[in-house]
Structure 1
Amino acid sequence: MKIRMYNVGCGDCFCIRDRGKSLLVDFGTCNSRINGQPRSEIFDVIISDLTTISHKNLLLTHFHLDHLSGLLYMIKKRRSAYEFGKIYLPDVFSEPEMSHTLALLLLSDLMKNTYLPSKQISLFALVEALCRRPQRIELLCRGKEFEGKYQALWPDKEIIKTEAEEAYEKIMQNHEEAMAALTDFAEGLRQLVWSMTGEEKKHPSFAVIDREFKELRSRGDFQQLLSALEGEKVNLRQFKNKISIVFQNARDGELNLLFTGDVQQEHLKQIAENYDGKYPLHDHYWCIKVPHHGSQTHFFDFAPYTPENMLISNGIYYADRKKQAGAYRTSAQYAGLFYINDAHMYCSDCRCCDGYRNGCTCKECDIIEPLYYKDI
């Protein structure tokens, strides 16, 4: 087994390559250019590499474009290469109550003051793409085993629903009609994705969903809702990270993996504490993919788990936008992880790391840039 870590700029793309079946974990970037090249060229290189794998599935940890834009491109531009047997998504679709969470995710996309701006509404764009090329969908939540070897540690459906409900009710108080219309739309979207799992046969068509979405966005009270949230600087982007899939090997072994997506710091602490007493982390990992580009806001000390390899995907490098870049740069605390005995660091680009200012402090490191990928 090996892990191929692709260089996709500020984004995530990993392929866990096994003899029997391989698993691609995320495929996206928020950059228009990567190392001076149009991102479409980088996507084409990755897609060509993936076509050499006969049996592969895809896991999308969550619905940020820096994790799924490559998939959208693949479906639209390279249809002949689109050969996933199954696509795993975080479970925010299996229960009607989840429409509140989906409403918040849609609001996050539609607000203008969130990080990583884009013309695409990522969740809606994903559903549209999946309708264009129907796929077998499987939903993951805490405790669910998949691929015959992995176990999801997050999201926890009950915790997510509780946290979403608190935010939802606050917005609902002042924007009841607009939120009710958004929730009705989110429920239709939920039913459509749920039907792709084979559990539900009746569902609205995408043409109906598309028309309803245009009507919703044109409503005056809905535009007022967006303006109010933007004026109050309400941070809803976090809800995409709240639902991020975290998984590890279901059974302890020599090649234990821990993939953390963009899981939030407080949720990763809960996972590490085994809050429900059901699914403890392993004592040792062969590879750990750190959350959220290794940023300080999502920093977690993995030293107690004696990782052999640490995977840190690219952050942002903007010389003239220090505030935004700081939120997405790799924390200097990761750059100084030399105290982890024999830990090997794999990073995308030193320029995106706060530890690079005074020289790389990692005991051992492998930088992907300017290559397309690195094998671990």
Structure 2
Amino acid sequence: MYNVGFGDCYCLRDRKKSLLVDFGTNNSRIEGRPRREIFDLIISDLSTIECKNLLLTHFHMDHLSGLLYMMKNKDSSFDFGKIYLPDVFSEEKMSRTLVLLLLADLVKDSCLPSRQVSLFALIDALLERQTQTVELLGRGKIFEEKYQALWPDAYVTQRETNEVYDLLKEKFPEIMDVLLDFAEKLRQIIWSMTDKGKVLLENNQKNIRAYVYEREFRRIKALPEFKELLTWLNRNQVNLRQFKHKISIVFQNARDGELNLLFTGDVQPEHMQMIADNYDGKWPLYEHYWCIKVPHHGTQDHYFNFSGYEPENMMISNGIHFANSKTQSRELRTSPLYGGLFYIPDTHMYCSNCDCCDCYENGCSCKEADVISPSYYKDI
């Protein structure tokens, strides 16, 4: 578990290969050190691993900024064998969700330090590495021969997308058509990096990489209709940022055992409850977990009570977050409700930093707490 401030970065290692789960932060400095120094330390660790893959739970900068740094500043020796992404790219109808993801970074309440569009930045970085292989994960998909994705669910995502998309389409039909066409081209780029997509492109003899996407996106953002759409979204406080959480990958071990892991990314509380309820009757959670990574830095709005699963270890990656307002900063602190979980018998708690925890007063109050700060990683 790496200490990346307000961000996520984990490495699951075994004797055969390793899986990096997310790699990013929203902080410019971590424990008083420039972000790039922490990134370089982590990349140095990864350079010692020959067989390594990467899983990005979703497309927020605090989960992928390190990957962008790595891909744009390092040589090919740091390539991953495979990059796992949430499946919002395998079907044309998913382009609607991609439109909302593109817009999410451009509204004023996005909490981002810049106007960089994370989804577009990721695709741009992947295009730099023409040989990169991507695998898309959705509910039930087995990967790495040992893990199973529990979320996202394409059907649920599409249903929730349509509720918002249809409203915007009704009010701004022309610009939404332009964005949908652009999103479809981005979808095809990612799809072309998968094994199935490569075969289809070869059969259809298409060359989608020749499209000047960055220039096209700048042209779209300069359109008066686009600016009018953004103004309306900001004025009406439409929460598009949640759609990045709605597609966040959740996964566990494919087979029940002693060392069960549950990684939750930034999954929405209502979706985590659906997973816990085994809403489709196909893939239940296990009765016991060796280790659980709690959703979204342990914040109040993503709180979920995991005590019923008797976790031996729990992980919260959090750090001081300098948001756009005091209210946002408070909302991004670790929830005091997790304090009760810290006292589950035989449960060990790992967190990044006490300074952003609402349970912290005159020292860490968690039973057998293990705070990473000021170190940059912890072996569990």
TM-score by length of 2: 0.95
Select the residue among 23, 30, 33 that pairs with 2:26: 30
Residue equivalent to 1:58? 54
Residues 253-332 of structure 1: matches in 2 within 5 Å? 253-318=257-322, 321-332=325-336
1:195 and 1:203 in contact (8 A); partners too: no
**Which moves more between the two structures, 309-318 or 236-245?**
309-318
**Which moves more between the two structures, 318-327 or 58-67?**
318-327
Distance, in Å, in 2 between the alignment partners of 1:280 and 1:340 is 22
1:374 paired with 2:378, answer yes
Residue equivalent to 2:162? 165
1:74 and 1:81 in contact (8 A); partners too: no
Query: How far apart are residue 322 of structure 1 and its match?
Result: 2.9
**Which moves more between the two structures, 75-84 or 30-39?**
75-84
Residue equivalent to 2:208? 204
Residue equivalent to 1:344? 348
**AA at the equivalent of 2:286:** H
Mark the CA change 1:320 to 1:249 in structure 2 (over 3 Å): closer, same or farther: closer
Mark the CA change 1:318 to 1:210 in structure 2 (over 3 Å): closer, same or farther: closer
Deviations 1:190-245 (A, max 9, x none): 01110110323135226422232121111110111011101111110000000000
Residue equivalent to 2:242? 238
Query: How far apart are residue 317 of structure 1 and its match?
Result: 4.3
Distance, in Å, in 2 between the alignment partners of 1:88 and 1:8 is 21
TM-score by length of 1: 0.96
Distance, in Å, in 2 between the alignment partners of 1:97 and 1:222 is 22
1:187 paired with 2:184, answer yes
Deviations 1:285-311 (A, max 9, x none): 010000000001000000010000001
% of aligned pairs identical? 65
1:175 paired with 2:172, answer yes
2:8 and 2:25 in contact (8 A); partners too: yes
Select the residue among 139, 142, 146 that pairs with 1:142: 139
1:363 paired with 2:360, answer no
**AA at the equivalent of 1:326:** R
Deviations 1:68-110 (A, max 9, x none): 0000000111124422100000000000000000000000012
Query: How far apart are residue 326 of structure 1 and its match?
Result: 1.3
1:124 paired with 2:120, answer yes
Mark the CA change 1:27 to 1:276 in structure 2 (over 3 Å): closer, same or farther: same
2:105 and 2:115 in contact (8 A); partners too: no
Q: Matched residue pairs, number? A: 372
Distance, in Å, in 2 between the alignment partners of 1:361 and 1:319 is 26
Query: How far apart are residue 113 of structure 1 and its match?
Result: 2.2
Distance, in Å, in 2 between the alignment partners of 1:96 and 1:177 is 19
Mark the CA change 1:320 to 1:335 in structure 2 (over 3 Å): closer, same or farther: farther
Residue equivalent to 2:149? 152
Distance, in Å, in 2 between the alignment partners of 1:321 and 1:239 is 22
Residue equivalent to 2:226? 222
Distance, in Å, in 1 between the alignment partners of 2:133 and 2:3 is 28
1:335 and 1:353 in contact (8 A); partners too: no
Instruction: Give ranges in structure 1 of 5+ residues lacking alignment.
Output: none
2:27 and 2:321 in contact (8 A); partners too: no
Mark the CA change 1:203 to 1:330 in structure 2 (over 3 Å): closer, same or farther: farther
1:142 and 1:155 in contact (8 A); partners too: yes
SS at match of 2:208: coil
SS at match of 2:27: coil
Query: How far apart are residue 359 of structure 1 and its match?
Result: 4.2
Deviations 1:150-207 (A, max 9, x none): 0000000000000001110111111111111101100010011101103231352264
